[in-house]
Structure 1
Amino acid sequence: MNICVFLSAADLPERYTRPAREFAELLGKGGHTLVWGGSDKGLMKVVADGVEQSGGKLLGVSVEFLAASARPVPAESGEMIITADLAERKAQLLARADAVVIMVGGTGTLDEATEILELKKHGMHTKPVVLLNTAGFYDGLREQFQRMEDEGFLPLPLTELVLFAEEPVGALAHLEESAGVQ
């Protein structure tokens, strides 16, 4: 599977990097391809390193104004695409993915997450989406989404829109099950 991961390029503490590294290693050992924002910094680097070192492939999609921090990807490991702007980047990331995982991140990650969920809500894609709720990072967002559902703001059940996973192994298991991967 091509699994898109939206996440931070910031350097983060071990409580965030350990689960991200664990997910990356599971992804690589499963023979999957990481589709990600292409950065060679912070948590993005941790995940790309983990996937590559565990035998997975990389498909990076960076953007012109961040190209200087894009990871060099050897042809045997995958490829790196540079887009003109963030909108094109998000479109390419989704188009090249079979599934989406949202890890910890800032406003850029939140923007990507809400756009992906909005597109899914409107039937523009049916790809499974998982929010990896590392260290309870997305507890507040889960509460807000639940309120949206309870008060009639979502046209479909929250469980059809996104899965909140507490651990990397559960996140990947859900994606593989959704895709029929054995």
Structure 2
Amino acid sequence: MAAVLVFCGSSTALDPEYLELAAETGRELARRGHTLVSGGGRVGMMGAVAEGARSGGAPTLGVIPQSLVDLEVADTASDELLITESMNERKDLMLAKSDAIITLPGGLGTLDELFEVWTTATLGVHRKPIVLLDPDGFYAGLLAWLRAATDARFVRPAALDLVTLATSVGAAFDAIEAPAQRPGPDETAAAKE
């Protein structure tokens, strides 16, 4: 059983298909016997993934800063709810408590979280699998920009290899459950030379 950190949007004004994607992710996480680690919110996709996970019997761990608890958006139904002082402490603790990361569609906060774990992976801080779950091309523009940044040598090609693109929920979990050891950024670069 793995602790899977899921990054996703918390907006309450989302199209229903995004909420269903989050709920399906939570249900699949539970079906496969994993624990959910989330940002500890009860709204938007974040709330839907937690409810989906709990509906299948998965344990849920939320990590949320006090400022969001004060706004009454905390997922108080979590099996464990850890309250941090800051957003940075929240991100560090979520990563520390997880074995793998799946990123669903989201906004600035989701991108901040994705790039934090991606950057720390390129620096060798962790070797946790990172999956970008994008069934409908939501991140196509971002991925095109990253390829252009790689072509311009702002991003090393090995860094792009640290994130797996999945177009279905099942494929996302298959990717994090793959038994192969993930190479570090230097090993990936060396293998391509």
Normalised TM-score (structure 1): 0.91
Separation in 2, partners of 1:91, 1:151:
30
Count of aligned pairs between the two proteins: 177
% of aligned pairs identical?
36
Query: Secondary structure at the residue paired with 2:119?
Result: helix
For 2:190, the equivalent position in structure 1 comes to: none
Aligned Cα root-mean-square deviation (Å): 1.6
Which one of the candidate residues 33, 39, 42 is aligned to 2:41? Answer: 39
Give the aligned partner of residue 191 of structure 2: none
Deviations 1:20-56 (A, max 9, x none): 2211111011110110001011111110000000111
Runs of 4+ that moved beyond 3 A: none
Match of 1:71 in 2: 75
| Matched residue type, 1:72 | T
Give the secondary-structure state (helix, strand or coil) at the position aligned to 1:147.
Answer: helix
Q: Which residue of 1 aligns with 2:4?
A: 3
**Is 1:64–1:83's contact at 8 Å kept on the other side of the alignment?**
yes
TM-score, length of structure 2 as denominator length: 0.86
Deviation at 1:159, TM superposition (A): 4.7
Q: Hey, what's the Cα distance between the residues in 2 that align with 1:157 and 1:151?
A: 14
Match for residue 54 of structure 2 among 43, 52, 55:
52
Unaligned runs of 5+ in 1: none
| Aligned pairs for 1:114-129 within 5 A | 114-129=115-130
Gaps of 5+ in 2: 182-193
Kindly tell me: are residues 65 and 140 of structure 1, through their superposed partners in 2, closer, same or farther at Cα, counting changes over 3 Å?
same
State how far apart, in whole Å, the 1-side matches of 2:61 and 2:178 are: 22
Deviation at 1:169, TM superposition (A): 0.7
How far did 1:152 drift? 2.3
Larger Rg: 2
